[in-house]
Amino acid sequence: MTAATRPAGDAAGTLDALVQCLEDEYSALLDEDFERLEGVLARKQLLLERLAALPSAAVGAPQGDPARAGAKARLSLRRVRKLNERNAQVLAPRAAGNRARLQFLQSALGRGALYGADGSVSAAATVGASGRSA
């Protein structure tokens, strides 16, 4: 592989590894194997950092047939996006449950109220599904 085609090859290999990593993440989420999930998330972070470090033109850069190389990259990126969205859907109910537990614990500890500058009390339980205060 020449220096000119190496980034594109690195991108393709990294995207393939990321697809496998997202499949492993899904499996660990379904199995509720949080020990394995920790390792998968560390690997996923490294792969994302590797992709971010590549020149933007490397993903889909010509490797003989520009149209074919670009189409393969787009398919890989679409697959990564779809898998990531699927994994987020699996994780969403757990995240919502964790937010509800956290709100309950905060209110049980007396941290359920916020005080304004004038000393007035307002409820802090206005955190919506997005995790941000309303």
Could you write out the DSSP letters of every residue in 25-76? Answer: HHHHHHHT-HHHHHHHHHHHHHHHHHHHHS-GGGTT--SS-HHHHHHHHHHH
Range of the domain at 81: 6-123
Does a structural domain hold residue 131? no
CATH number of the domain that residue 50 is part of: 1.20.58
31-63 confidence digits (pLDDT tens): 999 999 999 999 999 999 999 998 865 655 444
110-130 confidence digits (pLDDT tens): 765 566 667 666 655 444 444
**Structural tokens at position 104:** 């309950």
Does a structural domain hold residue 54? yes
Does a structural domain hold residue 42? yes
Cα 134 from Cα 129, distance rounded (Å): 10
Confidence of residue 3 (pLDDT cuts 50, 70, 90): very low
Question: Is the pLDDT assigned to residue 30 strictly greater than 70?
Answer: yes
Cα 58 from Cα 80, distance rounded (Å): 17
Number of domains in the chain: 1
